[in-house]
Amino acid sequence: MKILDGKKISNDIKDEISKEVNEILKSSGKQPHLAAILVGNNGASQTYVNAKVKACERVGFKSTLIRLDENISQNILLNEIEKVNNNEDIDGLIVQLPLPKNFDESLVTNSILSSKDVDGFHPLNVGNMVLNLPTFISATPAGIIELISRYNIETSGKNCVVVGRSNIVGSPMSILMSRNTNPGNATVTLAHSRTTNLKELCLKADILIVALGKANFITADMVKDGACVIDVGISRVKSEITKSGWKLIGDVNFSEVSQKCSFITPVPGGVGPMTIAMLLKNTLLASKSKI
Ligand code: GUN
């Protein structure tokens, strides 16, 4: 069994981005610039946004973090988005999800200029992704594709089961794995909460991608010998071993499943760091398209 080391690969990608930023700075003086809007005090969202800001520093990007109170009206948020849309210095904008209740997430996402939508959530970018046209592909599925590619995992003609149909991960993942590209060309099944024969389907998967948000949900009896297992889940559970009293675990029961599979992503250190690296890559792309 081989670990798919997202931490290492994401560091390689960040090094590649840093080099390119230095070259761009020398030739045009333009520093890529990412803006992030965080509404409210969701602990996990704060952690993710801080990690994104830190990653910007690491690769030489400018970053702007806009924090808004959770009690603001939706119009105030839409005004902030409009300001960033009109700010020529800012190349990419993300609004961290989930938003507090009372916000219309799809209206908010659709208000971001598609050319600055480095999360790839805007309908225009989702549509381009489905049609295999140049676009911003959302960072988590793009990170998984990059990980599969850099470890030379064969996907063509393989059975791929994606568990979870979210707009951010499961749904785009199923499209990327089925399209005529490499990685891709897999026969894809998208399983979800109404799927009745999940274990049977998972047992047929050469590549199993799990994005469900249920800690330790996938057990060894659900996994084919030699499968490649990608775990997108991150749940915070109590721990008596760690200093903080908490630990992060994925949707896959790692200790069991790792005995059976050929490749597996750890949690933490698998898909998570890849997501941030791909967000940076999209921001660089946004910045370059203006140079
Ligand atoms: N919440 C969970 N994942 C993401 C992501 O990739 N982007 C944004 N904006 N919010 C998220």
For residue 96, report the distance from its CA to the centre of ligand 1, in Å. 5
For residue 27, report the distance from its CA to the centre of ligand 1, in Å. 32
Is residue 52 flagged as an active site residue?
yes
pLDDT category at 290 given cuts 50, 70, 90 is confident
Q: What is the pLDDT of residues 7-31, one digit of tens each?
A: 999 999 999 999 999 999 999 999 9
CB atoms within 10 A of CB 168: 19
Mean pLDDT of the chain: 97
Query: Is residue 140 within 6 Å of ligand 1 at its C-beta?
Result: yes
What residue owns the CA closest to ligand 1's atom 6? 139
Helices 139-150, 6-28: axis angle to 10 degrees equals: 110
Helices 139-150, 271-288: axis angle to 10 degrees equals: 110
The mean pLDDT value for 276-290 works out to 96
Res. 145: pLDDT tops 80: yes
Three-state DSSP class for residue 136? coil
Query: Is residue 94 within 6 Å of ligand 1 at its C-beta?
Result: yes
- State which of 39, 97, 271 you would mutate to test the pocket of ligand 1, scoring each by most atoms of that ligand within 8 A of its C-beta: 97
- State which of 49, 81, 94, 271 you would mutate to test the pocket of ligand 1, scoring each by most atoms of that ligand within 8 A of its C-beta: 94
What is the C-alpha radius of gyration for the chain, rounded to an integer number of angstroms? 19
Domains and CATH numbers, the chain: 28-113 (3.40.50.10860), 139-272 (3.40.50.720)
Percent of the chain with pLDDT over 70: 100
Q: What angle do CA 249, 212, 113 make, to 5 degrees?
A: 105
Q: Quickly list DSSP for 165-196.
A: --TTTHHHHHHHHHSSSSS---EEEEE-TT-S
Contacts for 23 with CB less than 8 Å, ≥ 6 apart = none
Is residue 31 flagged as an active site residue?
no
